[in-house]
Chain A
């Protein structure tokens, strides 16, 4: 009896040791993968601080002193801050439209039982599965007809019809906004739109905050849209402007690294602040879909 229990204990101890070893390997694997994820960004930042001569001569892993020099030669040919401003205007306005009209539409679907409600909502969801490039040429055409080619509006206006936003906000409304609130607002004599703007919209803040981060990042990263619809360098958002670096500074690698780093920096900052919220919302959006 005693013997078996001793054996048992020994067994368990052996097992635990084995487990521990596998745990260490798993952690090593995770750390290695994390390093692989980060190294390119590390290289980007480090190389942006070196002169072309440094970069051409050997592998570098420590920061250099040419940051200011690279920055100055970049700004000689390129107004990078103008690019920042363009990106900010386009992404900011797009996000505002996506949020407001997404919420408006979601509220309409969630709280009004008009005829065709279900079919129209399925239609909205189905549009998410249609590849965007399908209408690329037609988009160019409609922007031409509306005289919107080479304007910010060409990139901003379509953001008002974001199907994912409708879906995301409707989920939130279904889960958190009871009909009684709307009924009592009606009893108080508030009009339908006033109820939405003054009472409902503030209650949607948590969902809109999460959605807003995504909409902003999505618009900031958009590349093919501005590539097709904008022609003037002065209107280019950052990703497009940085692409021009190759042409201006074909052999000056320090400047190119710095440009790439600057275009990515805002995303890094946004992620550093909101990473928990971003990751949480990715999961919500996907699993419920």
Chain B
């Protein structure tokens, strides 16, 4: 029997081959080709012309690259901090025994996460539109304002609006993951602490939080990777413009715009790799600082 199963083991390659074939064609090749293109000048017609590091030099002096990166970081930061904290509080609350209707709350909070992001951007754009938006009319019907406000004209407000959409879409998702983490913490530890007379707040900070730290790290890193790629919501919210004053132009919007509406495929690829380097740096920073913190906590 044993020798028989050893003889079959090479079949494994056949089982994994289709996946790897597709991955090399549609996953790996595009990345390598983009890397190559980032050293070229190519307008989509004819052959790409090698230009060395020219595109990367251009990035270093490109105001819009920094601006879009800044926008992305602000939009991401403003959404992710409340996302990861409020969802943790909610997870702890919904993990308590006394709360009624837990599964309903979980479902309602999670729901926006699976709704088409592009459609949500469009919807929020409609709600906050100037003359006919329901938000203005709501404020007017309450007498808070007398004339409709042109929100689309206010850079910080629009950035905040994109952050709000992201928060709205992701706090429920984070909460579900925290809850799963909480369910993994042994009840004995928590009960022992409560018998010793520790308050709920103390238990949270001294037991729950340290035990959840791997999950918090997971959430931070995945939110960096996801957050740096924000595209759908600001794109549909501003009809692809990134206005007002390019305040909602995210890095991926700038990449899309450069490559696919101005046909500078070489420079667009360089932007993609520039963004990737930023993502890697941020991931490493968050990884090391979180690891240091947990090590200090243990020592």
Contacts and interface: CB of A to CB of B under 8 A. Distances in A.
Contacts of B105: 30, 34
Contacts of A84: none
Contacts of A271: 107, 111, 114
Contacts of A243: 118, 122, 236
Interface in B92-128: 93-94, 98-100, 103, 105-112, 114-120, 122-124, 126-127
Contacts of B124: 40
The A contact surface, by secondary structure, is helix
B25 interface: yes
B252 A133 contact: yes
Interface in B260-290: 260, 265, 268-269, 272-273, 275-276, 279
Contact of B269 (A58, A138, A161, A228): A138
B95 to A, nearest CB: 12
B33 to A, nearest CB: 4
A158 B229 contact: no
Given A134-B272, A224-B232, A26 B116 contact: no
A37 B20 CA distance: 40
A113 interface: yes
Contacts of A202: none
Nearest to A192: B11
B158 interface: no
Contacts of B94: 30
A138 B30 contact: yes
Contact of A264 (B18, B115, B232): B115
Interface residues of B, number: 94
B22 interface: yes
B31 A26 contact: no
Given A114-B13, A142-B26, A131 B112 contact: no
B37 interface: yes
Contacts of B20: 120, 161
Contact of A104 (B18, B103, B228): B18
Contact of B15 (A107, A142, A217, A239): A107
Interface string B1-12: 100110011111
Contact of B12 (A117, A127, A223, A286): A117
Contacts of B273: 134
Contact of A44 (B11, B14, B123, B276): B123
Given A101-B19, A113-B12, A217-B114, A26 B99 contact: yes
A112 B34 contact: no
B31 A221 contact: no
Contacts of B16: 104-105, 108-109, 120
Contacts of B30: 135-139, 141-142
Nearest to B32: A138
Contact of B231 (A40, A217, A223): A223
Interface stretch (B60-68, B172-180, B187-195): B172-180
Contacts of A101: 18-19, 22
A221 B233 CA distance: 12
B168 to A, nearest CB: 7
A34 to B, nearest CB: 5
B208 interface: no
B156 interface: no
A242 interface: yes
B117 A183 contact: no
A209 interface: no
Contacts of B98: 23
B232 A135 contact: no
A256 B34 CA distance: 37
Contacts of B23: 127, 161
A286 B218 contact: yes
A253 interface: yes
B5 A142 contact: no
A65 interface: no
A136 B181 contact: no
In this complex, which of A59, A257, A267 has the most chain B Cβ atoms within 10 angstroms of its Cβ? Answer: A59
B250 to A, nearest CB: 10
A119 interface: no
22 contacts: A37-B172, A47-B126, A101-B18, A105-B15, A105-B18, A108-B16, A111-B12, A114-B13, A127-B27, A131-B276, A138-B269, A139-B30, A160-B19, A193-B14, A221-B117, A224-B232, A267-B114, A279-B110, A284-B180, A286-B180, A287-B177, A287-B180
Given A59-B134, A131-B279, A253-B129, 8 more contacts: A52-B132, A101-B19, A134-B31, A137-B37, A141-B37, A142-B30, A253-B126, A270-B114
